[in-house]
Structure 1
Amino acid sequence: MRDAVIVEAVRTPVGKRAGALSGIHPVDLSAHVLTALARRTGLDPATVDDVVWGCVTQIGEQASNIGRSAVLAAGWPEEVPGVTVDRACGSSQQAVHFAAGLVIAGQYDIVVAGGVESMSRVRIGAARDAVEHGRPFGPKVRRRYGVEEFSQGRGAELIAERYGFGRTELDELALASHEKAAAATAGGRFREQIAPVAVATGDGGERVVTADEGVRTGSTPEQLAALRTPFKEDGVISAANSSQISDGAAALLITTSELAARYGWRPLARVHTAVLAGGDPVTMALAPIPATARALKRAGLAIDDIGAYEINEAFAPVPAAWLRETGADPARLNPNGGAMALGHPLGASGARLMTTLVHHMRDHGIRYGLQAMCEAGGLANATVLERL
């Protein structure tokens, strides 16, 4: 039987809004990680069957099949195809699912999966807000749920209300995310997974960005409590306990164990199980809970068999609710910090989480890791990885 293994995983540092990466076109940011992936593995790009690329806001600079443009910008042969995937925040995790499934099916031998989002340059919601071209969702969907728009922020407020999460509790989760990310950065845990990016400076020179820009130290509960709650008056969701608007890209090289051995590659992990789940599109962000249950059942594993969990911190209530429902060990959750600290470059986040997860599994001898992401529309991807 064929399998699908991750040979290498690489990402850019995650840039903050209007930060160091904001001057780089998202096509070129994508090309940067493709080039780094090939350099690290000795990959001949001509052998790549496809580049499956996640991107959420496919408008403006991210339009016209950015996956294909990334291949051309990287200088790879014109014969290498590229395709762009949109499953909202899980787009690049879905790219991995598509890539792994087609490798196992024998349709691909060598494939790159990943994604990009430059939220500084292509504003979140820009495609949705182009009302002159018509509204999304359609009248039947709006009537079914009694809403004019679906808001992830309002959905997060509903989740917090349902589970009884107070603002102090959620802010503490945010502070913990920054503390873990700061410790990981200081300890060099991200060093091998990051492909540094050279950026132009105002004086005509350049500097090299080597670390994630959103991680903060020294914040206090009092500072966080003073922030406004934009989605609900006297609510609990603020900028502090939400994911950051970010820029970034990430890529993973996927093939079979047999081909990896032939090329002299030592795989990081096997894609053990890949599933999807759907749920209520109003609260929206609870779907990682049923997706996790489905993944564990299909994998024949229990939650305690998993040594590390990457659950995207779109908003603090998301991992908090996931922990409560799954009974997972909090110490294994987002051990190097999550999106509240590291940022959430939408179309790149699934690949960024997976890159961080496989490196963490390798560095700590963890056999099984699990990743799940909430996605607009009440969707979620869940992936179980097995270290080899």
Structure 2
Amino acid sequence: MRDAVIVDAVRTPIGKRNGSLSGIHPGDLTAAVLTSLADRNGFDPAGIDDVVWGCVSQVGDQSGSVGRVGVLAAGWPESVPATVVDRRCGSAQQAIHFAAAGVIAGHYDVAIAGGVESMSRVPMGSARGDGQPYPPSVLDRYGITGFNQGIGAEMVARKWGLSRQAVDEYSARSHERTAAAIDAGAFDAQLVKLTELDVDEGLRRGTTADKLAGLKPAFEEDGVITAGNSSQISDGAGGLLITSSDIAAANGWTPMARIHTAVLAADDPVIMLTGPIPATRKALDRSGLTVGDIGAFEVNEAFAPVPMAWQAEIGAPDDVLNPLGGAISVGHPLGGSGAVLMTRLVHHMRDNGIRYGLQTMCEAGGMANATIVELLD
């Protein structure tokens, strides 16, 4: 039976909204990742069976099948196909799952999986336009007039008893850990160096809980969710080269990690952000591993209460949960975040000799992906 391994993983630095990457078309951000993978690994792009690319807001500058646009922008042969995946915030993580499944099934020999989002050029919600995505049958089922992730984050904070002080302390820690990672060079080997930007742009050094306490709640007048304890709106892309162990060996590639377990789960769509909890439990159950076996967890920091509630339920130690910071400190380019997080995770595992890592992220509709990867020597 074939396996699926990650040969390499790269990402652009993450640019803040209307910042250094806002002038780059998302097709060109995609192309930068594809070109970097080819240059680093010495493959002929004509041998890529598919580019599976995540993107959430597929309108405007992201409307032209942005994965295929990226292939063409990179100057790759016209024979290289691409497809675009939308599982909301988990789009690029789902792209990884699809590429891995294709390799294991023998549909692909070599694939690239990843994603992109330019939230500066295509603002969140653009795809909705003037339409109403939820019919009365759905709204009536839940007795609501619409779904809102910010309100969901407030619901999570209340359910798990997370105070404003606690979520601000977590958020300050995210900035602190990212600053330490950048200063230690932890991201250097994974970054696509762009002329416009060579380091994650959203980091705010010196952030403290006391400083964050001065921000006004964003969704409820007496709520705890602010711009400071939420993920940053941002631009960026990431991608992974995926194949089987046998094909990697035949090409002279040394894989970084094996995709050990890949699962999906879904939960209450109103509170919306709790899906990582059942997804993690499902991944651990299916893999036969325990929390103690996992040396690093990447739980996307959509809002601080998401990883905090997850931790309360799963019981992971502080030092292995988002050890390099996360979306609160550097940003969350929606369709690309799954690949950005996986790139951070596998490089961190390799740099620190960690055998197993687990990544999960909340997604609109109450869904979540969870992926366990195993380090390979």
Shorter-normalised TM range: over 0.9
Q: Deviations along 1:54-112, whole A, 9 cap, x unmatched? A: 00011100012111111111111101100000000000000000000010001100000
Any unmatched runs of 5+ in structure 1?
A: 200-208
Report how far residue 127 of structure 1 moved. 1.2
The Cα offsets for residues 287-313 of structure 1, whole Å up to 9 and x where unpaired, read as 000000000011010011000000000
Alignment of 1:55-66 (within 5 A): 55-66=55-66
Please say if 1:325 is aligned against 2:313: yes
Structure 1 residue 198, shift from structure 2 partner = 1.2
For residue 297 of structure 1, what is the aligned residue in structure 2? 285
Residue of structure 2 equivalent to 1:206: none
Partner of 1:356: 344
- The equivalent of 1:181 in structure 2 is 178
1:86-165 alignment to 2 at 5 Å?
A: 86-128=86-128, 130-131=129-130, 134-165=131-162
**Aligned pairs, number:** 376
Matching residue of 1:67: 67
> Which of 225, 247, 255 lines up with 1:237 in the alignment?
225
CA distance in 1, matches of 2:132, 2:285: 38
Instruction: Kindly report which structure 2 residues correspond to 1:6-45, keeping only aligned pairs within 5 A, or say none.
Output: 6-45=6-45
Amino acid across the alignment from 1:126: S
Structure 1 residue 222, shift from structure 2 partner: 2.6
Secondary structure of 1:334's counterpart equals coil
Alignment pair present for 1:171 and 2:168: yes
Sequence identity percentage:
62
Counterpart secondary structure, 1:192: helix
Q: Does the 8 Å contact 2:176/2:206 carry over to 1?
A: no
1:306 counterpart residue number: 294
Runs of 4+ in 1 over 6 A off after TM superposition: none
Amino acid of the structure 2 residue aligned with 1:186: D
SS in 1 for 2:216: coil
Residue 78 of structure 1: aligned partner: 78
Alignment of 1:133-282 (within 5 A): 134-199=131-196, 209-282=197-270
What one-letter code is carried by the residue in structure 1 that aligns with 2:4? A
Partner of 1:5: 5
After TM superposition, the score normalised by the length of structure 1 is 0.96
Cα RMSD over matched residues?
0.7
Instruction: After superposing the two structures, state which structure 1 stretch, 146-155 or 52-61, moved more.
Output: 146-155
Letter in 1 for 2:261: T
Contact 2:178–2:325 (Cα < 8 Å) also in 1: yes
Amino acid at match of 1:362: R
- Normalising by structure 2, we get a TM-score of 0.99
Q: CA shift at 1:219, angstroms?
A: 2.2
Gap runs ≥5 in structure 2: none
